[in-house]
Structure 1
Amino acid sequence: MSLLEVTSSVFGWVYFICWSLSFYPQSMLNFSRKSTSGTTVDFPLINCLGFLSYMVSNYAFYYSPLIRAQYASRYHGLTPTVQFNDITFALHGLLLSIITTSQYIFPRAWGFTPSKGNKPSRFILGILFGCIVGVVLVIFIVAGSPERNSPSGGGHAWVWLDAIYAISYVKLIVTLIKYTPQVLVNYRNKSTKGWSILQILLDFTGGVLSIGQQGIDSWLQGDWSGITGNPVKFALGNVSMMYDGVFMVQHYVLYKGADGKGEEREGLLGEEGRDEERRIE
């Protein structure tokens, strides 16, 4: 195994760890505060749909002989750049998103005080149902295509690869819009209190490494269709980093001193950690 192959594997698992850990700070902060105030359910709710679609598409790209054959037919005999850690990450993200969403939808079950962020916006609900309808329509179109099961049908005919792409694009659409409601909430509140900055820092690190891994894999294949053939993975890292930058500016520059940084640190430390900090002070 060459150095670049080792580097790609390391990048893959490190970004998997960073992105996986990024799901915990918000739910932990909500639990420690016994409240979801300052945040909105839109983010974790639409994340459930996004990671469900990401898990399904990655599984198909990685395990389905038919999808891999159709991909190879369309992209010069190459294989998808999806790795096993992509599937693991998607499944983990789905489970944690469901848990976090439950804190907003069933606050009393968690012992929380209900807050304004418990109801999803019409915008997010519209995106959610629109994506589902779009995928169903594409599946019907593919199901009616005579070339749908052809391993070499990756040209102009509709094949199951196109259905998998439609499912994967749901994740891309979700990533493009899922942060917007929280950005607006922070702007209206002139504060990031209740919104975990730690999840953003982990997400930013994961984005850098995800793009790095995909670039290395494409270089090793000698063909950049590793990126053009899997645009969702490439876009995920870029779009996430762009939004992460906005949140970091809000947290550390625009609303500095009005965001409860100490509260997040204490919430993640727990009671013992807070007592220890007080003793040190």
Structure 2
Amino acid sequence: MADSSDDSSGPLESVSFLFGWVYFLCWSLSFYPQPILNLRRGSTTGTTIDFPAINVLGFIAYFLSNASFLYSPRIREEYALRHHGLTPTVQFNDLAFAGHAVIVSAITLSQFWPSLWGFEKRARRDPGVRVSKGILGIIIGSLVGVAAVTGIVSARKDEDPKTAWAWIDAIYALSYVKLVITLVKYMPQVSTNYRNRSTEGWSILQILLDFAGGVFSILQLIIDSYLQGKWDGLTGNPVKLALGNVSIFFDIIFMIQHYCLYNDTHGKAGEDDTFQDEERRDERIE
């Protein structure tokens, strides 16, 4: 493992910086194809409200945890106590990505209220119109879990933060909310595509960008850990590591659904509608 004082640290730091902003760009852009596709189609048919609903909570939690690791002296001190004096591998691009994701996810979520956008109304029993019980349970459970950890930390605030409950654990609880949400948020859409035998209404472009973002996010984290000379940068930032790996896993599933399993005219619609105008889309349908 290289020491941060090695001659190679300078170029590697530049590569890490580059990869960080490339992943920020890819992941940030991945949020736009779906709301743009919804807007062009004037409908959210083919998508589920579960995805943007749980995304909003997940990225709020991710934003707060990143902000704490970046700017809270207490959290950074407690992190150093537990990780050989190292600093968190959270970067500013992580915070910028999370903040941007909260805003765009909220906009996408608002599209499920047709009157706000002039969309066609969907039947209340149409799959995906209402938040599913499973996702609602995860949302409530996440809030209760964070509140419970915060209560425990408040009650034991005078103990040694290196070995006992500390405020960093409350921040980790926030980040684990994002981890849990990342593990489950794609499942309703995978199920919807399977049930419809089509990926129509689900933008494949967002998946391709998401895949690229996941790859560069993991690469940046590996480089940052290498520069620190220990793998604590990976274990100390489990959410960023999981975000990349889980996203890549599900992106591959979506690509298989789109390009292999449901490789038909309707399934391909999502690839082109983001850029085609309404006239061209109508001509294709005819």
Question: TM-score normalised by the shorter chain: which range applies?
Answer: over 0.9
Unaligned residue ranges in structure 1 (runs of 5+) = none
2:22 alignment counterpart: 14
Pick aligned residue for 1:93 from 101, 122, 129: 101
Pick aligned residue for 1:213 from 213, 220, 224: 220
Asked if 1:224 is matched to 2:235, the reply is no
User: Equivalences for 1:80-229 in 2 at 5 Å?
Assistant: 80-104=88-112, 106-115=113-122, 116=126, 117-147=128-158, 153-229=160-236
Tell me how far apart the structure 1 counterparts of residues 32 and 148 of structure 2 sit (CA, whole Å).
35
Decide whether the 8 Å contact of 1:59 with 1:87 is kept in 2.
Answer: yes
Tell me how far apart the structure 1 counterparts of residues 233 and 186 of structure 2 sit (CA, whole Å).
27
Decide whether the 8 Å contact of 2:67 with 2:95 is kept in 1.
Answer: yes
Q: Deviations over 1:141-195 (max 9, x none)?
A: 00111336xxxx3322111000000000000000000000000000000000000
Higher helix share: 1
Pick aligned residue for 1:236 from 234, 243, 254: 243
Q: Deviations over 1:15-63 (max 9, x none)?
A: 0000000000000000000011111000000000000000000000000
Decide whether the 8 Å contact of 2:78 with 2:161 is kept in 1.
Answer: yes
The Cα shift of 1:260 comes to 4.2
Decide whether the 8 Å contact of 1:62 with 1:84 is kept in 2.
Answer: yes
Give the partner amino acid of 1:57.
S
Tell me how far apart the structure 2 counterparts of residues 94 and 263 of structure 1 sit (CA, whole Å).
23
Unaligned residue ranges in structure 2 (runs of 5+) = 1-8
Measured at CA, do residues 266 and 184 of structure 1 come closer, stay the same or move farther in structure 2, by a change above 3 Å?
closer
Q: Deviations over 1:70-110 (max 9, x none)?
A: 00000000000000011110000000000000101x11211
Decide whether the 8 Å contact of 1:33 with 1:267 is kept in 2.
Answer: no
Tell me how far apart the structure 2 counterparts of residues 228 and 269 of structure 1 sit (CA, whole Å).
44
Asked if 1:39 is matched to 2:47, the reply is yes
Query: Where do 4+ consecutive residues of structure 1 move more than 3 Å?
Result: none
Give the partner amino acid of 2:67.
Y
Decide whether the 8 Å contact of 1:135 with 1:163 is kept in 2.
Answer: yes
258-267 vs 230-239, which moves further: 258-267
Q: What secondary structure does 2:276 align onto? A: helix
Tell me how far apart the structure 2 counterparts of residues 267 and 212 of structure 1 sit (CA, whole Å).
29
Q: What secondary structure does 2:165 align onto? A: coil
Return the TM-score normalized by structure 2: 0.91
Decide whether the 8 Å contact of 2:218 with 2:241 is kept in 1.
Answer: yes
Q: What secondary structure does 1:69 align onto? A: helix
Q: Deviations over 1:94-142 (max 9, x none)?
A: 00000000101x1121111122222110010000000000000000000
Decide whether the 8 Å contact of 2:152 with 2:165 is kept in 1.
Answer: yes
Q: Deviations over 1:210-233 (max 9, x none)?
A: 000000000000000000011111
Asked if 1:265 is matched to 2:276, the reply is no
Pick aligned residue for 2:62 from 41, 54, 58: 54
Give the partner amino acid of 2:46.
G
Aligned CA RMSD, in angstroms, stands at 1.7
Measured at CA, do residues 53 and 263 of structure 1 come closer, stay the same or move farther in structure 2, by a change above 3 Å?
closer
The Cα shift of 1:270 comes to 2.8
Between the two proteins, what is the percent identity of the paired residues?
59
The Cα shift of 1:269 comes to 3.1
Measured at CA, do residues 263 and 84 of structure 1 come closer, stay the same or move farther in structure 2, by a change above 3 Å?
closer
Return the TM-score normalized by structure 1: 0.93
